[in-house]
Amino acid sequence: MAQNLVIDVLLANLMVSKSPRITEISLGIIGNLACHEILREQISSSNGLVKVIVDQLFSDDVPSLCEAFRVITTFLRNSDGCVVWAEALQTEQILSRILWISDNTLNRKLIGKSTRFLFDVLSCQQVAAILLPPMMKLGLSSLLLNLLAFELSKFREEEKPESDEVLDYILLSIEALSVMDDYLEEMCLNKQLLQLLEDLIKFHDKFEIPNACVTASTLLAKIVARATSLASEMSQDLDVLQGLLDAFPFASSVLTQASMWCFIARLLTLVRESEVSSLFLNRLVSILTKKFDLLEEEITIHLLNDMDDDPPPTAYVDALVIG
């Protein structure tokens, strides 16, 4: 009963308060309450509360917007009640507002909250089924590319962002889109996306954005697997090969490593000695020589370790041997 009264008070505050700080605090409390399953159910079923919270997305107050996104994403990440929230968000007016905020805000915290929202929408099948079609019509794919280009440009500046979280969420959102055949086909034809992914792979300071470089590598590998003509072009760009080998140590999962090795192997098999210059071959040998320890270690781990009870995927071994 006391919990219901608290929720009622918070609802009343959001409905009548004209103070941005009271709104921010009320949303913050709801966000904290939503960490508990029972309270999430009560919040989602509270008459009018979902709509009132969603309406806060039209606020011009940045702290309140951050809290509104935090509350909404908390519910979208949990299967219990996520459909209720997705349905409350699905109008063109609300989705247009969300995309506008993501595209126009310069506040780093709000950029983080809004890009996390996009990722959570794409990560949940139930939510994506409701929100993805209208969001794509409103230009979600173009927005993600604009955000990716903007974030990458920030890391080229002298005063770089303190965190690569936003860049990671953008790339993970694009990766989530790539598992859907229709959208993967669109990606294969998007020259801007291909260029941005290549730029990420070639990014020199990989310690600054390690996860982004790995995600870009696996995304590009997936695209090249579909658009085979791209592989031939990339095999002539040794900076791509160098970037892939530099990014590999940051790959944390066996499947990700397998994807990257297969990509590397594919590029190497497309190099024709008779069709390239001696300068090209010399640099290729130099790159592979400098990565000899990495190559030797991977082959040793995955081919010569008889004590390994959990062998890697066949594709991984094949890639290492070909590479």
Q: For the segment 296-318, what is each residue's pLDDT rounded down to a tens digit?
A: 888 787 665 545 555 555 444 44
Percent of the chain having pLDDT more than 70?
92
* pLDDT beyond 50 at 319: no
Average pLDDT over residues 97-117: 96
Taking only the tens place, the pLDDT of each residue in 115-134 is 999 999 999 999 999 999 99
Give the pair of three-digit tokens for residue 13: 């505050």
Range in 89-98, 174-183, 232-241 with the lowest mean pLDDT: 174-183
Q: Under a CB-based contact definition with an 8 Å cutoff, are residues 60 and 100 in contact?
A: no
Domain boundaries, given as residue ranges, for the chain: 188-323
Beta-carbon contacts of 237 under 8 Å, excluding residues fewer than 6 positions away, are: 198
Cα 152 from Cα 157, distance rounded (Å) = 9
pLDDT band, residue 275 (cuts 50/70/90): confident
